């Protein structure tokens, strides 16, 4: 399941979410082999879920290991991020593969670039993972010359990540009383979703920072700010610093 496929005849990259209605109808009835799944080159089929959500999937019979399926909320959030970036004037794509200098492969949920040309990945994490995996994946992007922002489900993912950092820094807290729940290499913005199978109709709101420095804002405002460098590391926390309005809540 994914949002991209390849038109076999031309190599053109197709997007399920951006295809116009007539093209999508044609893709749904196209003969097997007309479109291919990226990375596996197996014939793809265009499908529409009961919720009206469009996606591409492997034709039956694929003998290999398919990429891990993603949830409805993950896919919707990924699409919102790429649409916001494009509306802001950035070139952005979903499900972009890459490889680090050491040969480690990755697929960015969304890949774009700053005005200065720095590549930027937005990674969506709605399922819990170990802090070591956050760091491993972040370092893999860094080694590939890609800056990464993490969009996390507030519960349980962000909560568990902050608790893991709190445990790591327990000795520091006991020694000098500094509470550390963030780390410089992982830049998180948090979203509150009911579950991974639901997505709000209204524009998604996000949270950045903690304590007195919490900023709540629409997803579009957060993405624009991240691309302009408003996320600043000020040990022991991340802070949102808009140079045009530094005290805005």
Q: Kindly state whether residue 167 falls inside one of the protein's structural domains.
A: yes
Instruction: Identify whether residues 111 and 209 lie together within a single domain.
Output: yes
Q: Kindly state whether residue 160 falls inside one of the protein's structural domains.
A: yes
Q: Kindly state whether residue 246 falls inside one of the protein's structural domains.
A: no
Q: Kindly state whether residue 245 falls inside one of the protein's structural domains.
A: no
**pLDDT of 52-90, one tens digit each?**
999 999 999 888 888 788 999 999 999 999 999 999 999
Instruction: Identify whether residues 35 and 144 lie together within a single domain.
Output: no
Q: Would you state the torsion angle of the CA atoms of residues 132, 205, 97, 30, taken in this order, to the nearest 10 degrees? A: 140
pTM for the whole structure: 0.94
Tokens of 124: 């969506």
End-of-domain residue from the set 16, 32, 58: 58
Instruction: Identify whether residues 36 and 153 lie together within a single domain.
Output: no
Q: Which domain holds residue 103?
A: 72-240
Q: Kindly state whether residue 248 falls inside one of the protein's structural domains.
A: no
Q: Report, as an integer, the average pLDDT of 225-230.
A: 96
Residue 133 has pLDDT above 50, yes or no: yes
Instruction: Identify whether residues 50 and 119 lie together within a single domain.
Output: no
Residue 99 maps to which CATH number?
A: 3.40.1350
Residue 205: strand pairing partners = 218
Residue 247 has pLDDT above 90, yes or no: no
Tokens of 148: 């990464």
Instruction: Identify whether residues 96 and 176 lie together within a single domain.
Output: yes
Q: Kindly state whether residue 183 falls inside one of the protein's structural domains.
A: yes
What pLDDT does 246 receive? Answer: 59
Whole-Å CA distances, 69 to 2, 56, 66, 73, 75: 8, 11, 8, 12, 10
Considering its fold, how many domains does the chain have in total?
2
Instruction: Identify whether residues 111 and 204 lie together within a single domain.
Output: yes
Instruction: Identify whether residues 168 and 236 lie together within a single domain.
Output: yes
Instruction: Identify whether residues 49 and 100 lie together within a single domain.
Output: no
Instruction: Identify whether residues 51 and 132 lie together within a single domain.
Output: no
**pLDDT of 163-220, one tens digit each?**
999 999 898 888 888 889 999 999 999 999 999 999 999 999 999 998 888 999 999 9
Instruction: Identify whether residues 53 and 77 lie together within a single domain.
Output: no
Q: Kindly state whether residue 218 falls inside one of the protein's structural domains.
A: yes
Q: Kindly state whether residue 64 falls inside one of the protein's structural domains.
A: no
Instruction: Identify whether residues 90 and 210 lie together within a single domain.
Output: yes
Instruction: Identify whether residues 40 and 142 lie together within a single domain.
Output: no
- State the maximum Cα–Cα separation within the chain, in Å, rounded to a whole number: 67
What is the Cα 79 distance to its own chain's centre?
9
pLDDT band at 93 (very low <50, low <70, confident <90, very high): very high
Whole-Å CA distances, 86 to 38, 89, 93, 232, 239: 22, 5, 9, 24, 25
pLDDT band at 249 (very low <50, low <70, confident <90, very high): very low
């Amino acid at each position: 399941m994914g949002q991209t496929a390849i038109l076999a005849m031309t190599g053109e990259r197709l997007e399920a979410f951006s295809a116009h209605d007539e093209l999508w109808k044609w893709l749904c009835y196209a003969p097997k082999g007309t479109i291919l799944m990226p990375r596996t080159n197996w014939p793809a089929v265009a499908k529409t879920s009961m919720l009206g959500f469009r996606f591409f999937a492997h034709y039956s019979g694929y003998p290999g290991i398919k990429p891990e399926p993603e949830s409805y909320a993950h896919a919707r959030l990924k699409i919102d991020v790429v649409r916001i970036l494009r509306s802001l004037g950035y070139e952005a794509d979903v499900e972009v593969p890459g490889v680090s200098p050491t040969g480690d492969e990755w697929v960015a949920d969304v890949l774009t670039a700053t005005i200065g040309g720095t590549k930027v990945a937005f990674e969506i994490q709605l399922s819990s993972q170990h802090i070591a995996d956050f760091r491993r994946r972040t370092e893999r992007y860094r080694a590939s010359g890609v800056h990464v922002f993490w969009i996390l489900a507030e519960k349980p993912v962000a909560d568990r990540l902050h608790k893991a950092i709190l445990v790591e820094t327990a000795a520091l807290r006991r020694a000098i009383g500094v509470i550390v729940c963030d780390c410089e290499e992982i830049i998180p913005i948090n979203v509150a979703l009911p579950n991974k199978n639901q997505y709000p109709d209204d524009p998604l709101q996000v949270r950045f920072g903690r304590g007195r420095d919490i900023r709540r804002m629409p997803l579009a405002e957060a993405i624009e700010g991240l691309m302009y460098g408003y996320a600043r590391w000020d040990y022991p926390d991340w802070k949102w610093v808009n140079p045009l309005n530094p005290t805005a809540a």
